[in-house]
Chains A and B, each alone.
Chain A
Amino acid sequence: DIHMTQSPSSLSASVGDRVTITCRASQDIINALAWYQQVPGKAPKLLVYAASNLQSGVPSRFSGSGSGTDFTLTISNLQPEDFATYYCQEYYSVPPSYIFGQGTKLDIK
Chain B
Amino acid sequence: QVQLQESGPGLVKPSETLSLTCTVSGDPISSNSHYWGWIRQPPGRGLEWIASMYYSGSTYYSPSLKSRVTISGDKSKNQFFLTLNSVTAADRAVYYCVRIRSYVDVWGKGTTVTVSS
Contact = CB atoms under 8 A, between A and B. Distances in A.
A32 B107 CA distance: 19
B107 A100 contact: no
Interface size class of B (residues with CB under 8 A): 20 to 34
Nearest to B110: A43
Interface in B74-112: 96, 100, 102-105, 107-110
Interface string A23-53: 0000000001010100000111110011000
B96 A43 contact: yes
A59 interface: no
A44 B108 contact: no
A98 B46 CA distance: 13
Contacts of A34: 103-104
B103 A89 contact: yes
Given A87-B46, A102-B46, A103-B46, A96 B103 contact: no
B72 interface: no
B46 A91 contact: no
Interface size class of A (residues with CB under 8 A): 20 to 34
A99 B60 CA distance: 13
B62 interface: yes
Given A44-B47, A50-B103, A96-B35, 17 more contacts: A43-B108, A43-B109, A44-B96, A45-B107, A46-B103, A46-B105, A49-B103, A89-B103, A96-B49, A97-B63, A98-B37, A98-B39, A99-B49, A100-B46, A100-B47, A100-B49, A103-B47
30 contacts: A34-B103, A42-B109, A43-B96, A43-B107, A44-B47, A44-B96, A44-B104, A46-B103, A46-B104, A46-B105, A49-B102, A50-B103, A55-B105, A87-B46, A87-B47, A89-B103, A89-B104, A96-B35, A96-B52, A97-B49, A97-B63, A98-B37, A98-B49, A98-B100, A99-B49, A100-B46, A101-B46, A102-B46, A103-B46, A103-B47
